[in-house]
Chain A
Amino acid sequence: MRRWIPAGLLIAVLALLPPLLPERHLATFVLLALAATVTVGVSLLMGYAGQVSLGQASFYAIGAYAAGLLAVHGVPPLLGLLAAPVIAAVAATLLGAPLLRLRGHHLAFATLAVQLILLSLLAQADWAGGAIGLQGIPRLSIGGFELRADLGYAYAAGSVLLIAVLIARNVIESRAGRGMRAAATSETAAAASGVAIGGYRLAVFALSAAFAGLAGGVYAFYLGYLAPGSFPVLLSIEFVVMAVVGGLGTIAGPLVGAGVIVLLVQLLNTLGTQPGMPGYAPAVLSYAVYAVILVVCVLYLPKGLVPAARSAAGKLRRGSA
């Protein structure tokens, strides 16, 4: 029973919060939920497969472009949205087969390279709108009901996040998940216990890409416009920051990490756009926040916020007992 409490809490927040939010904050909610969805995958990849991806925004872009292009060519939007994670996962599988032979910083640079290649190809692809971007993506419609207002997208993004969280939890609690955990800490130990590391690693890579692709699909319909510039390398780095700050290898970690960072950046953005602030203030403040939080976190809270908070709470409880 207890294991359903956090899930219930998440459902309650995702269901009850959006109508209470003022219209201008709904956009933040949508972007937060989408970022958290991608980060759940990144956290899974880093914490459970021990791999750093500096190119996760590629799969976000692939999902977004897949959904957008299908919809532009007359495929029903919902079908396009369903295709987005599948196409992203297939791309990840094809790319992962050779790339996942690499480890550590080699894999980090390889995933970064993949994203740069993708961005360059997209900028040159006239069929995808080129550098100018893909325009005229219809709004998402489900069963003839078209989502126009931000509230609808808040629910769409929330549902996508919930799906990612539930799948991630099942993966972590499965036998395969425990095997992967072992592989992340010690490859030799995992190999000795008969875990097929390579296969699991590829599966997690594909799954994390599917999460990113699904979030990207919602993003495409929400904005109605896509350009290569919407998916900079910095976006990939942001996902890594959120995962690391929240705490790898937990379900709550990516949610807390994405929440803390998106809200903080939003707050500073509001501050930076106050009258009298220089025009560059919002960008500078957000770069500074990402940088400082990341550096301070890896040096002083290497396990991330959620595990740190848990162990602090544990100490308190033991102290009072």
Chain B
Amino acid sequence: MSDLIGYLVTGLGIGAGFALVASGLVAIYRVTRVVNFAQGAFAVLAAMLTASLLGAGVPHGLAELGGVTLGALTGLLVGAVAVGRPGTSPGTSLIVTLGLGVLAYAVEIVIWGDQPRSYPGVPGVAELAGARLQAHYLLIIAVTVPVFALMAWFFTRTDPGRALSACASNRYAAQVVGIDVRRMGLLAFTLGGALGGLAGVLTTPVQQVTFDSDVALIVNGFAAAVLGGLTRPVVALAGGLLLGVAQTLAAGYGGGAYQVEVALVLMLTVMIVQAARTGPVAETAR
């Protein structure tokens, strides 16, 4: 029983990380209709910078903030290349973000090398209803939940947030009322970069990061986001948590094997069921 609670909380912690990556994907997709393949790279860059800053004696909090800021700036940069040119189709933009994700590898190796990196998070072991788990998982959950609440507030209660929601809801009408949809796309990429950066910064103490960790992050993030059709942040949160718990349970009771498969098969099943329900969506890739 205490095993189960331990797995559950650990899973929620891991899942919260997926949910943050997913929410970044959703923030970008809603506004621009672009699935941002470089989303995992934001997390990796932010985590690497945080590791360096901590190594240089910058205190916790400030170092993490530096990482998230780098994520946001990278997001803006990726957005500028991917959607900055008028007339770029979402399919083309997806391939551009794919290329920029690979470019990030080159940058990361030059600056930080190709060895895995990590840094200490919240030290110690927490006891929860008899279950023992790394205390840092509780921090991940404790940060993620308010971040999602903050996002809900931002999208519905502030004017820039409303404008982003407006672009997501009706792009043409947004242009009619004078919203610059391209600038909103860049704002969405910046926000997505910050969220991806936050995911990397939070999860690195429990899951060391390598330059090519982005593939696992983006796939898990996409899997979480796809549950809500890539447009609903709250469903992405639920999807991320579900995915995290499913993986930890599979790892815990399956002896460590097949946890990757569980998440991916879950994602494939969801997508195929969705496609069977709605019929094939006519979207061209390029």
Where the two chains meet, the residues of A that have a C-beta atom closer than 8 Å to any C-beta of B are: 46, 50-52, 54, 98-99, 101-110, 112-114, 116-117, 120-121, 124, 187-188, 232-234, 237, 240-241, 244, 248, 280, 283-285, 287-288, 290-292, 294-295, 298-299, 302
With beta carbons under 8 angstroms apart, the residue of B35, B102, B216, B272 that contacts A237 is B102
Q: Specify which chain A residues have a CB less than 8 angstroms from the CB of B113 in the assembled complex.
A: 280
Whether A280 pairs with B92 at a CB distance below 8 angstroms is no
9 A–B contact pairs at CB < 8 A?
A99-B272, A101-B272, A101-B276, A102-B275, A107-B285, A234-B102, A287-B102, A287-B106, A299-B92
Q: Specify which chain A residues have a CB less than 8 angstroms from the CB of B265 in the assembled complex.
A: 117
Q: Specify which chain B residues have a CB less than 8 angstroms from the CB of A105 in the assembled complex.
A: 35, 91, 94, 283, 285
C-alpha spacing A33/B216, complex, angstroms: 30
Q: Specify which chain B residues have a CB less than 8 angstroms from the CB of A106 in the assembled complex.
A: 226, 271, 275, 281
Q: Specify which chain A residues have a CB less than 8 angstroms from the CB of B275 in the assembled complex.
A: 101-103, 106
Known contacts A101-B272, A108-B94, A113 near B264 by CB under 8 Å: yes
Instruction: Tell me, rounded to whole Å, the shortest Cβ–Cβ distance linking A198 to chain B.
Output: 9
Known contacts A109-B222, A116-B219, A287-B109, A98 near B99 by CB under 8 Å: no
- Interface residues on chain B, number (Cβ under 8 Å): 47
Whether B271 pairs with A298 at a CB distance below 8 angstroms is no
Interface presence of B237 (CB below 8 A): no
With beta carbons under 8 angstroms apart, the residue of B109, B257, B272 that contacts A284 is B109
Q: Specify which chain B residues have a CB less than 8 angstroms from the CB of A240 in the assembled complex.
A: 95, 98
Interface presence of B81 (CB below 8 A): yes
Whether A290 pairs with B102 at a CB distance below 8 angstroms is yes
Whether B267 pairs with A299 at a CB distance below 8 angstroms is no
Closest 3 CB pairs of A and B: A291-B103, A294-B99, A287-B106
Q: Mark B132-143 against chain A: 1 for CB-CB distance below 8 A, else 0.
A: 000000000000
With beta carbons under 8 angstroms apart, the residue of A232, A237, A302 that contacts B98 is A237
C-alpha spacing A18/B152, complex, angstroms: 63
Instruction: Tell me, rounded to whole Å, the shortest Cβ–Cβ distance linking A244 to chain B.
Output: 7
Whether A295 pairs with B99 at a CB distance below 8 angstroms is yes
Interface presence of B147 (CB below 8 A): no
Q: Specify which chain A residues have a CB less than 8 angstroms from the CB of B226 in the assembled complex.
A: 106, 109
Among A51, A244, A285, the most chain B Cβ lie within 10 Å of the Cβ of A244
Q: Specify which chain A residues have a CB less than 8 angstroms from the CB of B219 in the assembled complex.
A: 109, 112-113, 116
C-alpha spacing A76/B246, complex, angstroms: 44
